[in-house]
């Protein structure tokens, strides 16, 4: 565990299809209360989240090509431009997973580069959906993300067949440039999960259970 508090690792996340405006308002209120690093919401909720979090220390993150990654590159670029216009300052994009399985890493590198360009200096995290890739494919996709100048690689959407594991985080950390970072997401429910993933190399945690994790963290602090 590093010196920063656990809250600054957490992207407080709500990506359910049925999330309502009231749900987003609650998410943003919790994020402000616990000073999470960001909220991560679907593109249609970026404007609302941006408005609610104005003048707070919480960033607005959104997802691009989510959750399948099967959109064309031009659509991902437009989504990114639109998200930034609406107030997103962090972009979590899903790669074209089929192209990764075909080992067309030049395609992956290009689509990431195009999204990075569209993000106009805003931070880009590349979701590689580890549950569908071999270790060698994970390494090659991380290499493509490095070449395309992304800031993060991210384990999972949370909508695949598996989520973050310590072994994947460690592998990804070893496969990226030294100035890049790893975000762990998918199935992270407890403070222990967070600690283990951070110890494995994660610099950011995507979780919908941020409040429960923080309560455990604060209780632990009181006991110590």
For 170-215, the pLDDT digits (tens) are 999 999 999 999 999 999 999 999 999 999 999 999 999 999 999 9
**What number of other Cβ atoms are within 10 A of residue 83's Cβ?**
26
Residue tagged active-site, from 92, 99, 138, 173? 92
Q: CA torsion angle for 153, 159, 164, 168 (degrees, to 10)?
A: -60
Write down the catalytic residue from 138, 168, 183, 193: 183
Q: What is the mean pLDDT of residues 65-71?
A: 98
* pLDDT per position as a tens digit, 38-61: 999 999 999 999 999 999 999 999
State the chain's mean pLDDT as an integer: 97
**8 Å CB contact between 38 and 61:** yes
Peptide bond into 128 cis (omega under 30): no
Measured distance CA(45)–CA(62) in Å, rounded: 9
Does the annotation mark 101 as catalytic?
Answer: no
Percent of the chain surpassing pLDDT 70 = 98
State yes or no: is 54 an active-site residue. Answer: no
User: Which of 72, 77, 75, 74 lies closest to 96 in space, CA to CA?
Assistant: 72
Domain 6-223 architecture? Alpha-Beta Barrel (3.20)
Model confidence, pTM: 0.96
Q: What integer pLDDT is reported at residue 2 of this predicted model?
A: 43
Q: Give the pLDDT confidence score for residue 224 in this predicted structure.
A: 66
Is 154 known to be catalytic? yes
pLDDT at 1: 42
Among 154, 168, 173, 193, the one annotated catalytic? 154
């Amino acid at each position: 565990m590093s010196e920063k508090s656990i809250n600054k690792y957490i992207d407080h996340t709500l990506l359910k299809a049925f999330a309502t405006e009231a749900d987003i308002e609650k998410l943003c209120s919790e994020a402000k209360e616990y000073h999470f690093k960001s909220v991560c919401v679907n593109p249609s909720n970026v404007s609302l989240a941006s408005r609610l979090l104005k003048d707070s220390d919480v960033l607005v993150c959104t997802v691009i090509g989510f959750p399948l990654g099967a959109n064309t590159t031009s659509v991902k670029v437009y989504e990114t431009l639109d998200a930034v216009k609406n107030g997103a300052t962090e972009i979590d994009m899903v790669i074209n997973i089929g192209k990764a399985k075909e080992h067309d890493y030049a395609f992956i590198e290009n689509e990431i580069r195009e999204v990075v360009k569209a993000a106009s200096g805003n931070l880009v995290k590349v979701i590689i959906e580890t549950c569908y890739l071999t270790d060698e494919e994970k390494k090659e996709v991380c290499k493509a993300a490095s070449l395309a100048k992304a800031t993060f690689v991210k384990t999972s959407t949370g909508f695949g067949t598996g989520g973050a594991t310590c072994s994947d985080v460690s592998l990804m950390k070893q496969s990226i440039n030294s100035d890049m970072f790893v975000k762990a997401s998918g199935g992270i429910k407890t403070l222990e999960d967070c600690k283990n993933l951070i110890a494995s190399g994660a610099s950011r945690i995507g979780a919908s259970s941020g409040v429960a994790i923080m309560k455990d963290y604060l209780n632990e602090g009181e006991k110590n």
